[in-house]
Structure 1
Amino acid sequence: MPYFESPVDGTRLHYVDHGPADGPVAVFVASAYLGHEMWEYQMLPLAEAGHRCVALDRRGHGRSDDTWSGYDLDTLADDLNGLFDHLDLHGITLVGHSVGTAEVIRCLTRHGSARVDRVALVAGVSPGLVRSPGVPDGVDPAAVRADEELFRRDRAAWFTAFADDFFAVRQPGNDVSPAYVRHMIDRCLVATARAATGIRAVVATLDLTAELPALDVPVLVVHGTHDTSAPLALTGRRLARLLPDATLKVYENGGHGLFATHADLLTADLREFLAGGRRTRDTAGAAAAR
């Protein structure tokens, strides 16, 4: 199995590397609690179409080593950049989901975009979810603390209770089998308790508003109309407005788990995005679709 050591503290991190070594490179960063397996409906067809698809299991998730420390955004971004260095990747299309979008953004603002040509932010919690000076319309911190108590008391019950909303299964066309939902819950429980609460702490304090103007690559923002984990107006639409060069695509009836419910559409949009050339802030205007 492919592993590399974190440049921060030597933690052994697992990654997958699918498709031809000389294909256009896409690097996938998963949601909280999940590892690379969440991207199967995107990575497999893209790799079969000739793209090199790489995905990282963040520390404490998937097959990566468990650690007590390192669940701050800077360390997670350094781990991601360490993967780029380890594989000597260039011309990357960087794809993040949920809290993975925050790792993507911090990686770029912390390490620059020399290796990255474009970014896709899918169902992101960026620029922030919880009310703060930079996120005045965010969720009440008291509600977040109450939810944290439920999560710590019984993670398995928490994942089960929120699964239907995660996939927006009550919306037309969002057909996911009970077996698949159970599989995703089981994968979430692979993340250690320490890793899970550490990632939740990142989300609870997240505000990337000031960092967004520094992104100097084209960004595709993908979000669902029925995302209850990261409401469209608070995250996706706001994110697209604040980025220098962003295109927003809104998926009707899409929830947070649109990587499964809208798998074919997301894969097609990523394939089209992967085919695009690099643009700079000096030559690119903001996209009209917002």
Structure 2
Amino acid sequence: MPFLTLSDGNSLFYKDWGNITGPPVVFSHGWPLQSDAWDNQMFFLGQNGYRTIAHDRRGHGRSSQPWTGNDMDTYADDLQQLFVHLGLTNATMVGHSTGGGEVVRYLGRHGTSRVDKAVLVGAIPPSLGAIPSNPDGVPLAVYKQQQQDFIDNRAQQAVDTANGPFFGFDRPDHNRSEGLVEQYVQQVLQGGFVNQYECLTALFLTDFTEDLKKMDIPTLLIHGDDDQLAPIDSTARKAAQILPNPTLNVYPGGDHGLPATHLHQVNQDLLDFIRGTGEGGGEGEDCPSTW
């Protein structure tokens, strides 16, 4: 399994699949998961001639579990080291949830010289929490409760999240998948405790507004209008108003875990956008749900 030794001595696990000479697509996963959450998209795009790359964020999955550096700036700098290590250029970056924040911070911090396009799926920018720049965000009392639940029983929090709002299994029209629940919990429990705990602060309280303004590349936002964890009105719809060149693709009834629950639709939307057949500006027509 490939690992990159970072400048601070920590190890970053990554996958490098598909056509090694094909256009690169770089995936960033959500909290508190790992790169395996993107396997279906990586396989699909790999079959279509692309080079697909995904890493386990520091402190998550198989990467090192350092006591420090669990913040968006460091996540972005780790990703830049991976770009340099693999010599990636003309890439498409894809981020889900917290990974969407990682993509936006990377582009705000390191620029777009290596990146042609970006895709944000159920992503947290401009901010998830109700901070001064986005007072309509998720109340900070929810953040505090998430922290406490994590400390009290991380495993039970993972079970409850997977059975409830992450995949929308608490909605009557969503058919629960035991496999998705088990996969989610397994990924959570492989990560570092302190790393996931501190990542909660990063994902709730980071302001990505200025990063979004610097993204001078076509950006596709894919978001469910029933996303209970990153509500669309305070995330994707606001981000689309800030981004220079956005397309907002809304999935009616869509939940937070779209890469799993709507995988075929997400796969096709990614392929169309990367190929250049799904670009545009502003908010597009709502997509029919595959659920």
TM over 0.5: yes
* 1:238-263 Cα shifts (integer Å, max 9, x gaps): 11111110000011221111111100
Alpha-carbon offset, residue 125 of structure 1: 1.1
Aligned to 2:231: 231
Residue in structure 1 matched with residue 200 of structure 2 by the alignment: 200
Following superposition, the deviation at residue 3 of structure 1 comes to: 1.0
One-letter amino acid of the counterpart of residue 29, structure 1: S
Matched, 1:250 2:255: no
Higher mean Cα deviation, 139-148 or 111-120?
Answer: 139-148
Distance apart, 1:139 and its partner CA: 2.4
Distance 1:41 1:175, change over 3 A: farther
Tell me the amino acid that sits aligned with residue 136 of structure 2. D
Letter in 2 for 1:75: T
Partner of 2:288: none
- What root-mean-square deviation, in Å, do the aligned CA atoms of Structure 1 and Structure 2 show? 1.7
1:19 and 2:14 aligned: no
Instruction: Name the SS of the counterpart of 1:68 in structure 2.
Output: coil
Within a 5 Å distance, the mapping from 1:60-79 to structure 2 comes to: 60-79=59-78
CA–CA separation in structure 2 for the residues paired with 1:51 and 1:173: 35
Partner of 1:34: 33
Contact 1:172 1:253 in 2 (8 A): no
In 2, Cα distance between equivalents of 1:152 and 1:170: 23
CA contact (8 A) 1:34 1:187 kept: yes
The separation in 1 between residues aligned to 2:172 and 2:243, in whole angstroms, is 31
SS in structure 2 at match of 1:45: helix
Q: Which amino acid aligns with 1:165?
A: P
* 2: CA distance, partners of 1:181 / 1:288: 32
TM, length-normalised to structure 1: 0.93
Structure 1: gaps (5+ residues): 280-284
Instruction: Quote the offset at 1:273 in angstroms.
Output: 1.2
Given that residues 25 and 53 in structure 1 are in contact (C-alpha distance below 8 angstroms), is that contact kept between their aligned partners in structure 2? yes
Are 1:289 and 2:289 matched, yes or no?
no
Q: Which residue of 2 aligns with 1:57?
A: 56
Q: Deviations over 1:94-139 (max 9, x none)?
A: 0001111111111111111111000000000111121121011122
Are positions 1:147 and 2:142 aligned together? Answer: no
Per the alignment, in what secondary structure is the counterpart of residue 139 of structure 1?
Answer: coil
Cα distance in structure 2, aligned partners of 1:110 and 1:200: 21
1:59-208 mapped onto 2 (5 Å cutoff): 59-163=58-162, 164-171=164-171, 174-208=174-208
**CA-CA distance at 1:210 after TM superposition:** 2.5
1:180/1:143 Cα in 2 relative to 1: closer, same or farther (>3 Å)?
closer
Match of 2:265 in 1: 265
Change (3 A) 1:257 1:288: closer
* Helix, strand or coil at the partner of 1:126: coil
CA distance, structure 2, for counterparts of residue 176 and residue 117 of structure 1? 37
What is the Cα deviation at residue 191 of structure 1? 0.9
Question: Residue 232 of structure 2: SS of its match in structure 1?
Answer: coil
In 1, the alpha carbon distance for the partners of 2:172 and 2:52 equals: 31
8 Å CA contact 2:108–2:210 kept in 1: the answer is: no
Return the offset for 1:75.
Answer: 0.7
Alpha-carbon separation, structure 1, partners of 2:174 and 2:26: 26
C-alpha distance 189-134 of structure 1, shift in aligned 2 (>3 A): same
The AA in structure 1 aligned to 2:28 is: V
Structure 2 regions of 5+ residues with no counterpart? 286-291
Q: Which runs of 4+ in 1 moved over 6 A?
A: none
Partners in 1 of 2:97 and 2:31 — Cα distance? 7
| Cα distance in 1, alignment partners of residues 64 and 142 from structure 2 | 31
Distance 2:79 2:142 in 1: 31
Deviation at residue 288 of structure 1 after TM alignment: 4.9
For 2:261, the aligned partner's letter is: T
Q: What's the counterpart of residue 218 of structure 1?
A: 218
Identity of counterpart residues, as a percentage? 39
